[in-house]
Amino acid sequence: MAEAKPSLPADLRCVLIDEESIRERVLALAAEIDEAYKDITEPLILVGVLKGSFIFLADLSRRLTIPHIVDFIAISSYGNKGDKRGEVRLLMDTRENLAGHHVLIVEDILDSGSTLSYLTKAFKARGTKSVETAVFLDKPARHVVPVDIQFRGFEIEDVWVVGYGLDYKERYRTLPFIAEMIPEN
């Protein structure tokens, strides 16, 4: 087990991904996205899934050199609460009309896959030119619904992580690194 740093709160076990590694990976992802969309003739629409993606989206979008528009969507997912597994509901739609545009969904973490599967289908049904996905973290052990991910930051084990936009009960979103939580009993 990694040794906890003295500066970490007591319920965080260790830093999984430090600031420098995040910075380097986001820069590389932006270069991949620039390359993939270099021939499109109108701005790419980045759609961040609130709230968890807001920091990743902010960093990624500032590293892109291709023309792009930033937008957001909010959904509620019951996937982690047990009763209605995998159910996803749209709470706030994009400001942009996505029809006729290349869309890149930007998400904090791929867990069961319910969120991204739902959004990909919903956006494709709107007459978009393409719908692809960039996720900062991926937990392959947790996948239930198959999702095709084009741009992926890091793969992690099946542990609860916080920081860089990700929360535990709204805490720790603004930590500049990704940390592993010690589960509550």
Complex with ligand IMP: residue 5 or 89, whichever CB lies closer: 89
**61 near ligand IMP, rule: CB under 6 A:** no
* Helix pair 54-63, 19-36: axis angle to 10 deg: 60
What is the DSSP code string of 2-44? PPPPTTS-TTEEEEEE-HHHHHHHHHHHHHHHHHHTTT-SSPE
Q: How far is the CB of 147 from ligand IMP (least distance, A)?
A: 8
Complex with Mg ion: residue 108 or 132, whichever CB lies closer: 108
Q: Which does 59 bind (CB under 5 to 8 A by kind): Mg ion, ligand IMP, none?
A: none
74-103 binders of ligand IMP (CB under 6 A): 77, 79-80
The catalytic site residues sit at 111
Applying CB under 6 A, among 13, 30, 47, 52 the residue interacting with ligand IMP is: 52
SS (H, E, C) 87-112: CEEEEECCCCCCCCCEEEEEEEEECC
User: Considering only 15-23, 33-41, 65-73, 154-162, which stretch makes contact with ligand IMP by CB under 6 A?
Assistant: 154-162
By CB atoms closer than 10 A (0-12, 13-18, 19+), residue 4 is middle
Whether 137 and 154 have beta carbons less than 8 Å apart is answered as: yes
Q: Which does 161 bind (CB under 5 to 8 A by kind): Mg ion, ligand IMP, none?
A: ligand IMP
In the shown chain, the binding pattern of residues 108 to 147 toward ligand IMP, with x for contact by CB under 6 A and - for none, equals: xxxxxxxx--------------------------------
Tell me the C-alpha distance between 106 and 71, whole Å: 10
Tell me the C-alpha distance between 63 and 67, whole Å: 11
Q: Which does 103 bind (CB under 5 to 8 A by kind): ligand IMP, Mg ion, none?
A: none
Whether 126 and 110 have beta carbons less than 8 Å apart is answered as: no
Per rule CB under 5 A, count of chain residues that contact Mg ion: 3
Q: How far is the CB of 1 from ligand IMP (least distance, A)?
A: 18
- Binding footprint of ligand IMP on the chain (CB under 6 A): 52, 77, 79-80, 107-115, 160-162, 166
